[in-house]
Amino acid sequence: MIGTLALRFAQADLLPFDYSAYAAEISHMADDLSGETHTEADAASLKLVSDAAADLSASAARAQEALRAISAGGVEPATKERINRALDGVEQDFLTPNGLVGRPWFKHTIYAPGSYAGYAAEIMPGVTEALAKGDSAVLRQESNAVAAALSRASARLVEISRLAQNSGADLGAH
């Protein structure tokens, strides 16, 4: 499976990432977590995450559409490289410099092993665990970190859309 994945990436003009599906999963999880709040402060913290997840979904859909529009017509090598670097960078945007509260070595705000789940991945682990503990202060901190990460990823996807649209316009002009 890893070999097939490596071949697919090596042969693709544009990296075959599906950020729309990724964003939909994040948005679904944010909506699920919103139903688990007990206070207005917790609900406000999770609204930040839900709003940022909705923005990410919209940005991912626009980027996917722009990439689909240019994929058939080809892309100039320099533009292809810029788009691929940006696509690769989206995942880096989900990292937080300070790591998760109590586990600073885990930097990914969307996926990390749960504190009590062994190696099982947990979606939005900082937010999920703060909710489970009923710790509103940590929930606010983790929600802010997740919302900031989602906003960074969304901004990068907007940049990808712009690059793809400009690439399509440039190809149409020739």
Least confident of 15-19, 91-95, 157-161: 15-19
Residues facing residue 113 across a β-bridge: 121
Q: What is the mean pLDDT of residues 82-99?
A: 94
* pLDDT surpassing 70 at residue 73: no
pLDDT tens sequence across 31-63: 999 888 778 999 999 999 999 999 999 999 999
| Banded pLDDT at 115 (limits 50, 70, 90) | confident
Q: What is the mean pLDDT of residues 10-25?
A: 88
* pLDDT surpassing 70 at residue 72: no
Query: Where on the phi/psi map is residue 118: left (φ > 0), alpha (ψ -120 to 50), or beta?
Result: left
Computed from CA positions of residues 166, 67, 147, 107, in that sequence, does the dihedral angle turn out positive or negative?
Answer: negative
One-letter amino acid of 95: L
Count the Cβ atoms, other than its own, within 10 Å of residue 116: 9
Predicted pLDDT at 148: 97
* pLDDT surpassing 50 at residue 103: yes
Q: What is the mean pLDDT of residues 90-104?
A: 93
Q: How far apart are CA 117 and CA 141, in angstroms?
A: 22
Domains of the chain and any CATH numbers: 14-173 (1.20.930.40)
Count the Cβ atoms, other than its own, within 10 Å of residue 40: 8
Q: How far apart are CA 79 and CA 18, in angstroms?
A: 19
- Both tokens of 18, joined, read 């599906």
Residues facing residue 95 across a β-bridge: 108
